[in-house]
């Protein structure tokens, strides 16, 4: 799909007939650069929705999908319904044409029951995890007419869904939904991702706000979901790098940490060591939220690498600084041509590796690649990335994250 198309449809008059012309969607598609997407609709099917309103909800959904270029390579639609139970009705890729999709939507049953939104969001998360495509926008649209039975579970599952890279629109209908809960379900900023309307016919009133935001939903980026406890330290010498270069390094670290998918669950801990005083470090147990960690790195005061690496393997992974005995240990070193004692740096990195620390290296500038290969873990092609300048770090964070995250997504072979 083209995300914009989704917008115009989602926010069109709820009961309008499907578009009979392609001019308006094509204009929007051009404006939004024609991004494909996987879109999942989660529909409230609880007892509080009368059957006539439930059928209106299905009609609304039929009208929406009529504007999408449904195919296996463009827009793919998923649909689930929930009450106290969750039932998947349509999975991504089930349909490659709009007529069959509409006919299936028309036959979606009304379940009845209580409103267990959190349980349903957990299922939606697994729908995206197992069935959605990488490299396209991931969008979920949640429609509900009431507050959930377990607000804390709903908030937790919504957070995990968003940390997985899914942009969530929360639409409350009628007087039942709780605005605080809707805001917890939807992405931020809430004034663009969260709406509350009196009835289905008023969905039209939120269309322009949603249209502009959904149009800007970026494509899905894979997140690092560690399969075991993992402690990650980023290390560099701020004194030799200079203020401007450190700022680029901070932005790079912030971007990489921003892709840590289950940091909030405690599976991943991250820290930073950039000098010899406490103000130049972030301990492994200092942040449990990737957004807070990313923000702290970007705003870290800048002060002034073999000594730093020595401190790192001696102290940074200790319990006192938030390390965990059985966690996988990873270090990311920034190495440039200002390093004066490469021989000592190699010695300290060898000690770190002998202690079970996996060493990744980001080489910057005119540094001998063979030397960097001796610093990082083997094989170098999996643990070394070269850039010509610190400025280039701004454009390679995503590529590096893919290289780095492969390590965290698998369990080590102990045999």
Tell me which of 27-31, 94-98, 391-395 is least confident: 27-31
The model's pLDDT over 191-217, given as tens digits with 9 standing for 90+, comes to 778 888 787 666 566 545 554 555 566
Alpha-helical runs (H) found in 132-225:
151-163, 179-185, 190-193, 207-215
pLDDT tens digits for range 112-122 = 888 899 999 99
Residues 267 and 256: their CA atoms lie apart, in Å, by 16
* Residue 124 to residues 88, 91, 142, 182, 356, Cα–Cα distance (Å): 9, 10, 10, 16, 37
Task: State the Cα–Cα distance between residues 206 and 194, nearest whole angstrom.
Answer: 10
**Residue-wise pLDDT tens digits, 140-168:** 999 988 778 888 899 999 999 998 889 99
In the chain, the N- to C-terminal Cα span, in Å, equals 46
Confidence check: pLDDT of 240 > 90: no
Residue 218 pLDDT class (50, 70, 90 cuts): low
Q: Does residue 334 contact residue 241 with C-beta atoms inside 8 Å? A: yes
The set of residues, in sequence order, having a beta carbon less than 8 Å from that of 130 and lying 6+ positions away, is: none
Distance of CA 20 to the CA centre of its chain: 36
What are the boundaries of each domain within the chain? 3-215, 230-408
CB atoms within 10 A of CB 40: 27
pTM of the model: 0.51
Average pLDDT along the chain: 80
Equal fold, 3-215 vs 230-408 = yes
Q: Is the pLDDT of residue 225 over 80?
A: no
The CATH architecture annotation of domain 230-408 reads 3-Layer(aba) Sandwich (3.40)
Instruction: Assess whether pLDDT exceeds 50 at residue 3.
Output: no
| Topology given in CATH for the domain delimited by 3-215 | Rossmann fold (3.40.50)
Report the alpha-carbon distance of residue 172 to residue 174 in Å, rounded: 7
pLDDT band of residue 411 (cuts 50, 70, 90) is low
pLDDT > 70 fraction of the chain, expressed in percent and rounded = 78
Weakest mean pLDDT among 48-52, 212-216, 293-297, 304-308: 212-216
| Interatomic CA distance for residues 365 and 339, integer angstroms | 11
**Res. 254 pLDDT band, cuts 50 70 90:** confident
Mean pLDDT of 171-176: 84
Ranges of H-type helices in 32-116? 51-65, 98-106
Give every CB contact of residue 311 below 8 A, 6+ residues apart in sequence: 273, 276
Reported confidence tier of residue 70, pLDDT bands at 50, 70, 90: confident
């Amino acid at each position: 799909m083209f995300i914009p198309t989704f917008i115009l449809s989602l926010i069109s008059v709820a009961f309008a007939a499907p578009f009979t012309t392609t001019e308006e969607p094509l204009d929007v598609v051009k404006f939004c650069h024609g991004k494909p997407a996987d879109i999942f609709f989660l529909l409230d099917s609880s007892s509080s929705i009368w059957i006539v309103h439930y059928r209106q909800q299905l009609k609304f959904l039929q009208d929406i999908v009529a504007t999408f270029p449904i195919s296996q390579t463009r827009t793919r639609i998923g649909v689930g319904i929930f009450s106290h139970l969750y039932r998947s009705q349509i999975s991504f890729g089930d349909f490659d044409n709009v007529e069959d999709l509409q006919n299936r939507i028309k036959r979606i049953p009304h379940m009845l029951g209580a409103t267990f939104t959190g349980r349903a969001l957990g299922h939606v998360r697994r729908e995206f995890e197992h069935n959605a495509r990488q490299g396209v926008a991931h969008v979920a649209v949640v429609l509900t007419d009431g507050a959930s039975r377990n607000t804390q579970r709903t908030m937790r599952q919504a957070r995990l869904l968003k940390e997985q890279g899914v942009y969530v629109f929360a639409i409350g209908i009628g007087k039942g939904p709780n605005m605080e809960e809707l805001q917890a379900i939807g992405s931020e900023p809430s004034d663009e991702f969260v709406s509350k309307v009196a009835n289905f016919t008023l969905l039209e009133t939120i269309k322009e706000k949603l249209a502009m935001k959904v149009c800007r939903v970026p494509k899905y980026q894979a997140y690092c979901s560690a399969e075991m406890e993992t402690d990650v330290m980023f290390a560099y010498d701020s004194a030799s790098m200079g203020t401007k270069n450190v700022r680029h390094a901070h932005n790079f670290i912030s971007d990489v940490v921003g892709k840590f998918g289950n940091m909030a669950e405690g599976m991943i801990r991250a820290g930073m060591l950039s000098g010899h005083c406490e103000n130049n470090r972030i301990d492994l147990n200092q942040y449990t939220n990737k957004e807070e960690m990313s923000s702290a790195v970007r705003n870290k005061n800048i002060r002034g690498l073999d000594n730093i690496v020595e401190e790192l393997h001696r102290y940074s992974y200790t319990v006192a600084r938030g390390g965990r005995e059985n966690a996988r240990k990873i270090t990311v070193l920034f190495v440039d041509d200002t390093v004066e004692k490469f021989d000592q740096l190699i010695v300290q990195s060898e000690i770190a590796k002998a202690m079970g620390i996996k060493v990744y290296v980001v080489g910057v500038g005119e540094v001998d690649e063979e030397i960097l290969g001796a610093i990082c873990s083997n094989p170098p092609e999996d643990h070394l990335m070269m850039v010509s300048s610190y400025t280039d770090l701004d454009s390679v964070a995503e590529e590096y994250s893919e290289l780095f995250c492969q390590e965290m997504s698998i369990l080590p072979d102990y045999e």
